[in-house]
Amino acid sequence: MKKPSLVKKLGRFFAILVVAIVLAVVLGTFIPRPLLPAAAADPVATRHILVLKNPIHTDIAVPVDDDVRKRFHFLVDGGIPDDMAGVRYIVFGWGGRAFYLETPTWSELKAVPVMKALTLDASVMHIDVAGNIVEPHPDVAGFDISEERFAALLDFITASFQQGPNGPIPVENAASRFDRFYEANGHFNALVGCNTWTAAALRIAGLRTGWWNPLPASLDLSMRIYN
């Protein structure tokens, strides 16, 4: 009997791999994390946070007040005007260094950042500011959380920044008037990426996500199902 050719073997391998990935994404979306809701309800929810998404990335927008400005005072020192009139949210995102810094637009997509994103890359935090954000909107999901959970979320975000002698470490030559990049803790890859960081932050905030949410669409769907 004729043995399968190498091409056929590779074809079967990639077919199995694709099926496995699709199955993992589906299960990761519909199996909640934590598996069971909290036994007791949280205190009154007084803070409204937002999850912002595009086709490949998610950010968390936290409302600005004096305490939040004090917590992230280094942003003003770095040139981000979170104390400017009209600023309502600070927007935080975590992601792969090469992809974030070397792909400002899709037309500038390069092979090396893509390969690093799929394998292993250093990480950075991206910080932006925003005025009023319209809700409801297909790319915006809002959630109400308690003061205690809000404080825990800010702790999680703070811990994501690498710390130097003078606090968080800005990435040189990677800033505009309203946004900036900082060195981050952790490494980025296809399994642990920007959207899994967002999901982890939301769980700290007391919300339920899917078990594994590598894509904005899967995170958005799981959040709408379980919260």
- Encode pLDDT of 57-81 as tens digits: 999 999 999 999 999 999 988 888 8
pTM of structure: 0.89
Q: Which two tokens stand for residue 214?
A: 């590598």
Backbone angles phi, psi at 222, to 5 degrees: -65, -40
3 contacts: CB under 8 Å, gap ≥ 6: none
Whether residue 106 has pLDDT greater than 70: no
Backbone angles phi, psi at 59, to 5 degrees: -130, 160
Q: Cα separation of 70 and 150, whole Å?
A: 15
- Between 64 and 175, the more confident residue is 64
Query: Residues for the chain: how many in total?
Result: 227
Q: Which two tokens stand for residue 188?
A: 């980025």
Q: Which two tokens stand for residue 88?
A: 């309502």
Whether residue 133 has pLDDT greater than 90: yes
| 136: exposed, middle or buried (Cβ count in 10 Å: 0-12, 13-18, 19+) | exposed
Q: Which of 166, 96, 102 is nearest to 124 (CA)?
A: 96
Q: Cα separation of 7 and 15, whole Å?
A: 12
Q: Which of 126, 179, 140 is nearest to 49 (CA)?
A: 140
Q: Which two tokens stand for residue 199?
A: 């999901």
pLDDT at res. 36: 85
Query: Tens of pLDDT along 120-129?
Result: 899 999 999 9
| 194: exposed, middle or buried (Cβ count in 10 Å: 0-12, 13-18, 19+) | buried
Q: Which of 150, 123, 164, 117 is nearest to 45 (CA)?
A: 150
Q: What angle do CA 163, 166, 169 make, to 5 degrees?
A: 50
